[in-house]
Structure 1
């Protein structure tokens, strides 16, 4: 195994396209993916940056969410994460990784499109742990429509808006009274907020709104000692890709690094934003785009 603490060529560190064509039904699963995603299982080393914190991660069963759960656990945090009912097997693997790191894992089935389920989630976490130190709003939905805006149904539009925006708004609003001074809210936005791909128009709209929400909320709660930031990934190799995009063979090839990111490459940004060392950073967007220039 390559020592992750030694310098590595970012161009060749992880698999590069062309990938085998692959297609899954939503929400997608990690197991069939080729190449398999890297969540940091063999590379992430914690140093106690988040010791005894309580972190809530939505969409933590796979992809970026799983990588964040793993990294937070290895940094010493207890983890609560959400997943959809059909993602039960994925959730078990995230639970295993967290518990293997010696931390508590609480996997909760929750659909953040429903306000009452968001309320029940916060109630369960606070009953169990008494507080929420870190809230990571990561759950998202997308579905590419190459045929244009006419192909985006009201049903799809509602699902994208409610998953990506309503759920984030409700959970943050409900969690804030339980976040102590020194706590953090970290949102997942996207390069799509700045450079929208036409087939992902509705998804890109929500990611732009998340940037605005992050910057506005950060000012609103600064005096309460709570920081609010976001991570804007570029193309990342997660189950959402074969489940929502029509062409996976060249996914990520347009990046200046010539490949998509692996989930493990996103997790350090979330750790940095949650850790005490970033105490003067709030209202910021950490762009992790593989070199794609952004405004």
Structure 2
């Protein structure tokens, strides 16, 4: 094994996306590293893909900072219930909603439930995603292409459209893109394409909503240890996941969540249309 392919994790894989955190070894580190300082006190936050991985870390951190949280997930009920308990442990309320973000009617139902439960919506985090590696562009079926775009970018549009009537001055939208939007990925052509679209969506929407004083930004993680990894790649690839970064390891979800917190709170009040890059030095940002 070369120095660029050092083992960073035990070999493992899962047979279904988006994967289950309960089956991972080791479990991703979601715990906030610091006491809260009320930076989101009284806020209501909606997070898609909030049941596990980066979404779980963001949910728990936001709760520690004073926010009530609604999390959307596909079908990982056990992970979602665990995240709910973690949010409640921080003294906040958590609403869990299962369904497909690629369905525009579902997005409307989600926002309706959030408003019914909390009476408002202050921060939207578009985070749900899926990926399906293929070695050749000819192997990407129309069904896979549609599915990847429907979840990864259409879902961002649908959830934002549903949320817009309830967002107001001071609200924030944060979109999860990826390092693959900047450096590309030869085996994730459709996934990396959606992530590039998210960057353009973020910058364009930021321009559109600036007059409403609603900020729109994004986070582009590098290789982060989340359920999507063992659910995507074979065990031998998982074994060396993240070893080709300058830091020689994958990141943990709680190393990414503070970027979302910064963009959600008033610390970033003069920032919109920007992307943060917690990627272990994996690519040159632009």
Normalising by structure 2, report the TM-score.
0.94
Residue 193 of structure 1: aligned partner: 181
Q: Which among 255, 261, 274 is matched to residue 265 of structure 1?
A: 255
Residues 17 and 252 in structure 1, CA contact (< 8 A), matched pair in contact too = no
Matched, 1:225 2:225: no
Stretches of 4+ moved more than 6 A in 1? Answer: none
Residue 12 of structure 1: aligned partner: none
Measured after TM superposition, the shift of residue 44 of structure 1 is: 4.1
After superposition, residues 118-267 of structure 1 pair within 5 angstroms as 118-145=107-134, 147-246=135-234, 247-267=237-257
Q: Provide the aligned length of Structure 1 versus Structure 2.
A: 277
Structure 2 unmatched ranges of 5 or more? 1-5
Measured after TM superposition, the shift of residue 129 of structure 1 is: 1.6
Structure 1 unmatched ranges of 5 or more? 1-15
Helix, strand or coil at the partner of 1:248: helix
Residues 112-138 of structure 1: CA deviation (Å, up to 9, x unaligned):
111110111111111222221000000
2-side partners of 1:130 and 1:29: how far apart? 31
The two structures, once aligned, show a CA RMSD in angstroms of 1.1
Residues 55 and 80 in structure 1, CA contact (< 8 A), matched pair in contact too = yes
More off after superposition, 183-192 vs 172-181: 172-181
2-side partners of 1:54 and 1:294: how far apart? 31
2-side partners of 1:18 and 1:285: how far apart? 27
Residues 233-260 of structure 1: CA deviation (Å, up to 9, x unaligned):
0000000000012220110011110001
2-side partners of 1:174 and 1:108: how far apart? 15
Residue 58 of structure 1: aligned partner: 48
Matched, 1:27 2:18: yes
2-side partners of 1:84 and 1:133: how far apart? 23
2-side partners of 1:110 and 1:131: how far apart? 21
Normalising by structure 1, report the TM-score.
0.92
2-side partners of 1:176 and 1:44: how far apart? 32
1-side partners of 2:8 and 2:216: how far apart? 37
Residues 131 and 180 in structure 1, CA contact (< 8 A), matched pair in contact too = no
Residue 39 of structure 1: aligned partner: 30
Matched, 1:75 2:65: yes
Helix, strand or coil at the partner of 1:240: coil
Measured after TM superposition, the shift of residue 167 of structure 1 is: 0.7
Helix, strand or coil at the partner of 2:111: helix
